[in-house]
Amino acid sequence: MGTVEQTLFISIDEYLQGEQQSAIRHEYLAGQVYAMAVAGENHNRVTVNLAFHLRSAARGKTCGVFISDMKLRIEQNNVFYYPDVTLACDPDDSAPFYKQSPCLIVEVSSPATLATDRREKLIAYLALPALRYYLLVSQEQRQVEYYNRNAQNQWCYALLAGNESLDVVCADVHAHLSLDDIYEDVSMEP
């Protein structure tokens, strides 16, 4: 006779309380928690570079820039993710440990996370009404894939390469992001 494996589900309140006490971060997907991978030097440098340039553009304005310790709650999917960088401009989005209405989300992708970032997270993120930009930033090569919502509320895909740059406009924030800015001090292996 075979054994049946039981899956333990936890509530959102249990998850949020546990995350406050945990030494490692976990993403929450419909009652189950998954430990986050540890990030390396390139990942950290890219994340800091993006946060620095966004924060410089947001200083003294209504938007907040958050790094990977701020959760993103997607209520309709019953999930909490930890994006690498989030720009949130909605003054009503004021929960202290998560945001729900960002205008920009950045995931710095590794080979281990790229499929999830391009599939599961892409679908969930692009359904957020306030989101205007979703950036998939490679930590292994100078490449940024991005989606931005146009004036007709349609998502457009583009690849940032060469000397191109991206202008991010959210509320009263206007940030100019070039590949040189994003990859400053990042060493790429040949």
Strands 133-138 vs 102-109: parallel, antiparallel or unpaired: parallel
Question: Per residue in 163-179, pLDDT tens?
Answer: 889 999 999 999 999 99
Residues of the chain above pLDDT 70, percent: 95
Quote the CA–CA distance of 190 and 178 in Å, as a whole number.
21
Quote the CA–CA distance of 87 and 155 in Å, as a whole number.
18
Residues in the chain: 190
- The CATH number given to 39-182 is 3.90.1570.10
Three-class DSSP category at 29: strand
Instruction: Give this prediction's pTM.
Output: 0.91
CA atoms within 13 A on the CB side of 150: 6
Burial of 26 per CB tally in 10 Å (0-12, 13-18, 19+)? middle
Residues 185-189: what's their mean pLDDT? 85
Quote the CA–CA distance of 126 and 13 in Å, as a whole number.
26
Task: Identify the residue whose tokens are 């928690």.
Answer: 33
pLDDT at 16 over 60: yes
Strands 133-138 vs 144-149: parallel, antiparallel or unpaired: antiparallel
Question: Per residue in 53-89, pLDDT tens?
Answer: 999 999 999 999 999 899 999 999 999 999 999 999 9
Domain boundaries, the chain: 39-182
Query: pLDDT band at residue 25, thresholds of 50, 70 and 90?
Result: confident
Q: Which of 21-25, 71-75, 129-133 has the lowest mean pLDDT?
A: 21-25
